[in-house]
């Protein structure tokens, strides 16, 4: 039982990333004045007749930003004039409303001041297939009126659910996408969000992913860490994915 004395050290190490993000980030933005402008990452529909399907991530608002990102999905069928964005937003579920939010407009808006990162960008026929899959998966999403910051279901649970049902994406959701490991229906086994491997998850509280895209990722109370041999990168809680 000598190993028990190392548990506090291990847990403290897991918190280094979130604490460093809290110390270095701006967690005190006023949501009323924080930017929601386009970050200029998405192609203009007028210049892009082909279909587009994308997934974005940006640091969550407020104190959550030290730990997690918020993710969303944007699609533009061929020869259309605007994007449709699908995401889950917690405060919309208050009072019995729907957490699922669908809107038209710029898909790459800053998330209350946080500049988004483009995780996947599909074009053409592959994007068209993905768009059909997104619409079907969104219709089946079982937690439209539910939201729980931790361990889920939340915005990242939604994105991961859709991604598992749309293999065209093959997206590697970052370790900071807390909630992605909350598997619908409470089943302990599922495809990894990238669909390139498998995962075991106990209600999003503990588990492991082994996949080509994600590599090896371990989840302990929502703090995810691991290694991605394919990209020669570490996966760290709070910080995200760091390549060598």
Query: Are 225 and 159 within 8 A, CB to CB?
Result: no
> CB under 8 Å to 137, separation ≥6 — which residues?
161, 162, 165, 166
pLDDT of amino acid 1: 61
DSSP 135-177: HHHHHH-TTTT---SSSSSSHHHHHHHHHHT-TTT-----TT-
| Average pLDDT of the chain, as a whole number | 91
Query: Are 226 and 215 within 8 A, CB to CB?
Result: yes
C-alpha distance from residue 85 to each of 1, 16, 92, 150 (Å): 51, 34, 15, 23
pLDDT of amino acid 231: 92
Tens digit of pLDDT for each residue in 49-91?
999 999 999 999 887 888 999 999 999 999 999 999 999 998 8
Q: What residue segments make up the domains of the chain, in order of their start?
A: 31-243
Give the pLDDT band of residue 6 (cuts 50, 70, 90).
Answer: low
Least confident residue range of 9-23, 113-127, 153-167, 203-217: 9-23
Structure-token pair, residue 48: 């892009």
Flag whether pLDDT at 131 surpasses 90.
yes
Flag whether pLDDT at 243 surpasses 90.
no
Give the pLDDT band of residue 215 (cuts 50, 70, 90).
Answer: very high
Question: What 3-state DSSP class applies to 59?
Answer: strand
Query: Are 236 and 175 within 8 A, CB to CB?
Result: yes
Mean pLDDT score, 197-219: 97
Distance, first Cα to last Cα, the chain: 36
Distance of alpha carbon 70 from alpha carbon 111, whole angstroms: 8
Structure-token pair, residue 38: 């386009």
Flag whether pLDDT at 2 surpasses 90.
no
Tens digit of pLDDT for each residue in 23-44?
655 566 666 778 889 999 999 9
pLDDT of amino acid 7: 61
To the nearest whole percent, how much of the chain has pLDDT over 70? 87
Query: Are 190 and 197 within 8 A, CB to CB?
Result: no
pLDDT of amino acid 232: 93
**Between 198 and 61, where is the model more confident?**
198
pLDDT of amino acid 66: 85
C-alpha distance from residue 59 to each of 9, 26, 78, 126, 210 (Å): 27, 10, 30, 28, 25
Structure-token pair, residue 20: 């460093």
Flag whether pLDDT at 11 surpasses 80.
no
pTM: 0.91
- Based on the number of CB atoms within 10 Å of its own CB, is 89 exposed (0-12), middle (13-18) or buried (19 or more)? middle
**Between 15 and 47, where is the model more confident?**
47
pLDDT of amino acid 65: 84
């Amino acid at each position: 039982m000598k190993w028990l004395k190392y548990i506090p050290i291990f847990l403290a190490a897991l918190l280094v990333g979130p604490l460093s993000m809290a110390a270095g980030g701006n967690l005190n933005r006023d949501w009323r004045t924080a930017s929601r402008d386009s970050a200029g990452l998405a192609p203009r529909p007028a210049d892009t007749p082909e279909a587009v399907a994308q997934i974005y991530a940006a640091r969550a608002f407020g104190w959550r930003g030290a730990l997690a990102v918020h993710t969303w999905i944007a699609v533009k069928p061929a020869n259309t004039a605007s994007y449709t964005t699908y995401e889950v937003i917690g405060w919309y579920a208050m009072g019995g409303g729907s957490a699922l939010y669908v809107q038209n407009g710029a898909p790459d808006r800053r998330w209350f001041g946080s500049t988004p990162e483009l995780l996947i960008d599909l074009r053409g026929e592959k994007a068209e297939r993905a768009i059909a899959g997104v619409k079907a998966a969104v219709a089946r999403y079982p937690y439209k009126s539910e939201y729980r910051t931790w361990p889920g279901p939340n915005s990242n649970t939604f994105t991961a659910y859709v991604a598992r049902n749309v293999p065209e994406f093959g997206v590697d959701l970052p370790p900071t996408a807390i909630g992605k490991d909350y598997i619908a229906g409470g089943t302990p086994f599922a495809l990894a969000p990238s669909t390139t491997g498998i995962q075991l998850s106990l209600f999003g509280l503990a588990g492991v992913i082994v996949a080509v895209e994600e590599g090896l990722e371990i989840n302990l109370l929502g703090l995810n860490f691991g290694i991605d041999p394919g990209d020669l990168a570490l996966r760290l809680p709070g910080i995200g994915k760091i390549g060598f």
